[in-house]
Structure 1
Amino acid sequence: MTVTPLVDFARLLDVLDTEGERLATSATGTDPELEVPHLPGMRLGEVVRHVGSVYRMVVSWLRDGERPTRWQREPAPDQSVVDYFRAGLLEVVDELDRHDPLEGAPTWWPEHQNFGFWCRRLAHETTVHRVDVQLTGAKLLVGDIAAEVALDGIDELMSLWFTHRLGVLGVSDVVPGRVAVNAGGRRWIARVSTTGASAWRTDEDEPAEATVSSDATGMYLWLWGRRPGAYVQESGDPALVAQLRSLLRVATR
Structure 2
Amino acid sequence: MNGRALIDLTRLLDILEIEATVLAETVDGAREELRIPNCPGLTVGETARHIGSVYRMALAWIRTGDSPETWQREPGPFQSLRDYVITGTRELVDELARHDPAEPCSTWWAADPTYGFWRRRMAHETVIHRVDVQAATDLPIGEIADEVAVDGIDEILTLWFGHRLTVQGVVGTTDGTVAVRAGEKAWLVRVTTGGLGAWRVPGRDIDRADRGRVDAEITGPPSNVYRYLWGRMPERAVNREGDIDAINQMWALLRLATR
TM-score range, shorter chain: over 0.9
* Aligned partner of residue 67 in structure 2, secondary structure: coil
1:133 Cα deviation (Å)?
0.5
Q: What is the percent sequence identity of the aligned residues?
A: 48
Partner amino acid, structure 1, of 2:173 = V
Normalization by structure 1: what TM-score?
A: 0.97
Once the two structures are superposed, the pairs formed by residues 54-203 of structure 1 within 5 Å of their partners are 54-141=54-141, 143-203=142-202
Gaps of 5+ in 2: none
Structure 1 residue ranges, 4+ long, deviating more than 4 angstroms after superposition: none
Give deviations 1:182-212, integer Å, cap 9, x for gaps. 1112111100112211011113423210011
* Aligned partner of residue 180 in structure 1, secondary structure: strand
1:140 Cα deviation (Å)?
3.0
Partner amino acid, structure 2, of 1:93 = V
Distance (Å, rounded) in 2 between the aligned partners of 1:54 and 1:234: 33
Partner amino acid, structure 2, of 1:144 = E
Matched, 1:224 2:230: yes
Distance (Å, rounded) in 2 between the aligned partners of 1:28 and 1:85: 10
**Aligned 8 A contact 2:172 2:192 in 1:** no
Give deviations 1:82-129, integer Å, cap 9, x for gaps. 111110011101110010101111111122111000000000000000
Choose the corresponding residue for 2:219, options 213, 216, 239.
213
* Aligned partner of residue 121 in structure 2, secondary structure: helix
Distance (Å, rounded) in 1 between the aligned partners of 2:239 and 2:24: 33
**Counterpart in the other structure of 1:36:** 36
Normalization by structure 2: what TM-score?
A: 0.94
Gaps of 5+ in 1: none
Distance (Å, rounded) in 1 between the aligned partners of 2:192 and 2:4: 25
Matched, 1:238 2:244: yes
Distance (Å, rounded) in 2 between the aligned partners of 1:57 and 1:225: 24
Paired residues, number:
252
